[in-house]
Amino acid sequence: MTKRLFVGSLSYTTTAQQLEDLFSQVGKVSSVNLITDKFSGQSKGFAFVEMTNDKETEDAIKKFNDFELDGRKLVVNVARPKEDRSDHQSRGNFTRSGKNW
């Protein structure tokens, strides 16, 4: 079963290929998803890396959390499940003016 890792504090110049090469040092990388701005295409400074099993995931966290890449110390941990955003009521119903109706 694949395990998804959150990788934060990335330099804006870090590429998905660099992350794949780095994490493949501890095991097989299933996928790398570098999060980018949809308009500019620039990295947002974080990514998700999927490893093929639990041992590789643990090894990656131990080896790469606080690891320096492109002048930045990485933050690596197990990714939390994506939040359900279907319930808009919990966040309030705001208009452009910022008033809560």
What value, to the nearest 5°, has the Cα angle with vertex 27 and ends 54 and 63? 80
Does residue 100 surpass a pLDDT of 90? no
Q: How far is CA 73 from the centre of its chain?
A: 14
Q: State how far the Cα of 37 lies from the Cα of 96, in Å rounded to an integer.
A: 22
Q: State how far the Cα of 23 lies from the Cα of 29, in Å rounded to an integer.
A: 7
| pLDDT number for residue 2 | 73
Q: CATH no. for residue 23?
A: 3.30.70.330
- Is the pTM higher than 0.85? The answer reads no
| pLDDT number for residue 34 | 98
Half-sphere exposure of 4 (CA within 13 A, CB side): 9
Number of domains in the chain: 1
- Please write the tens of the pLDDT for every residue from 41-98: 999 999 999 999 999 999 999 999 999 999 999 999 999 988 876 655 555 555 566 5
Let me know if residue 57 belongs to a domain: yes
Range of the domain at 67: 3-80
